[in-house]
Structure 1
């Protein structure tokens, strides 16, 4: 039994697909299938049940998967302890993320590059939570809001604070809502994270949860578009404070409800598998975990 085949089997088990495992490891699907079959032959057990639609671990496969993960993690830990991680960190990292993150974290990304000059970053904007196509290759996927069911591994990076805002000109014309239920009488600018999602906002106070179902005047998937529409008197919007606070300070936006209903939008990093994570990706993920909450706090204070 080869260690490389054990590692490949763990990737297949975590991604649930020969095709996805092949794409992630940059080898043909046929090679993945052959090597898993050779591993089964060497162990003389069936590790996977294969159908035309999916792969499932057998009982023996589940036992082998758990033990293999432990073994591989121990080997990885030993390698990390004896390697000079920073000196060998190099290559390109492809990151899909909300454009907000690039706005928030531009200076810190520059600092990361100074710290690891042999690492290059490919930063691709993605402002919705629709499933990423199978043709999209990435190292990290940064996603805001509640997670959909996914085969990816998720790690929370922090929270993005938000609230409810409108322009002074809109409020002068339409009046200022004093409670969430008043929103049904206003023009609502709704940002859609997933196409076709129910337009509603959830509010929490001492009385519990209030759900306000909306009939938006405008729906958009663009955070920049939402911000521009709000500033130009289009209506009331739910915005991140990173975007809104500078405009509140300039008098171009007004925070509603006396800041009673604050949001904490979770931000997650997703990646295909715990195994085969390049050192450069691990370093960036570690950096985001450490620095992103500080960056957000500095921008909204």
Structure 2
């Protein structure tokens, strides 16, 4: 019996939580399923399941084995797909992590267009602004904005993201338009809680960091749309990407200030586990996003 068959049987048992259910799904006998799992345990010299009269549970070794087995089987499927041994049409479920505001404002329309082009690819989208672990949390790809740290992950640039420091006309009329970051009122800062500009040496970021050490920002939130909407009400100033603030800037609800001091544009990336072969579904997804948003995205045109 080949090891891939053992791993596939093991994964089905683990996912079904039952030898009997696994046998039904694999259209084989309960005895053969048990034999395959026992053989895999023998080859690995470890117990993969704790068995009781009613249930089975993965051991700690079994949980680690399941992660590795899933990656191995997925890699084999990817290889077969790319080499043309299976239908080369992109298909399957793509597990995607993406930022909340970018997804609601822009990614939703891109996904709709993508699935019209690739109807056999299903998207499982999870929205979160925190930095997720792509591998441990089981994602095929994560959409991230910012400056990425070195890692074992592959990052492909999707588009460029400009930043803008914004305030409403009413706020500027009341407090004046600052000409230098030192003139900003720290108590009026509307701060995005996930922002990280540790590598940015601009005068504006230096001023914001210094102010944060002495004065608590007026509002801190983990959602840029909320902060931008508060800024539109004249309650302070906010540093946001133009994919969030762009519409308000165009219609005059917000005004960009200190343009000469705003940090350099950042990038939007597709981040995925390092593999020599990536699945068709992931490859066409990344290529589609790059084409859809272009080097200069539509909200900056």
- When normalised by structure 1's length, the TM-score is 0.64
Q: CA deviation at 1:107?
A: 2.6
Q: Which runs of 5+ in 1 are unaligned?
A: 6-21, 40-51, 53-71
Q: Which runs of 5+ in 2 are unaligned?
A: 6-10, 16-35, 45-60, 62-74
Change (3 A) 1:264 1:183: same
CA contact 1:128–1:192 (8 Å) conserved in 2: no
1:108 maps to what in 2? 110
Larger of the two Rg values belongs to structure:
2
Higher mean C-alpha displacement, 176-185 vs 232-241: 176-185
CA distance in 1, matches of 2:201, 2:96: 32
1:291 maps to what in 2? 292
1:98 maps to what in 2? 99
Deviations 1:109-157 (A, max 9, x none): 21211111111112221112365694x3211111111224544333232
CA distance in 2, matches of 1:286, 1:258: 32
CA contact 1:163–1:259 (8 Å) conserved in 2: no
Deviations 1:72-118 (A, max 9, x none): 99xx889636468653x212111110123322233332121111111
Deviations 1:165-187 (A, max 9, x none): 01112112222111122225551
CA distance in 1, matches of 2:109, 2:81: 32
2:206 maps to what in 1? 211
- When normalised by structure 2's length, the TM-score is 0.64
Give the alignment partner of residue 124 of structure 2, picking from 99, 122, 125: 122
CA contact 1:190–1:219 (8 Å) conserved in 2: yes
SS of alignment partner, residue 285 of structure 2: helix
CA distance in 1, matches of 2:126, 2:138: 11
CA RMSD of the aligned region, Å? 4.3
Q: CA deviation at 1:201?
A: 9.6
1:161 maps to what in 2? 162
Q: How many residues align?
A: 245
Change (3 A) 1:226 1:131: farther
CA distance in 2, matches of 1:182, 1:85: 62
Deviations 1:189-228 (A, max 9, x none): 111216xx6x8894648xxx97222322221111121111
Answer yes or no: is 1:188 the counterpart of 2:189: yes
Change (3 A) 1:159 1:126: same
Change (3 A) 1:200 1:169: farther
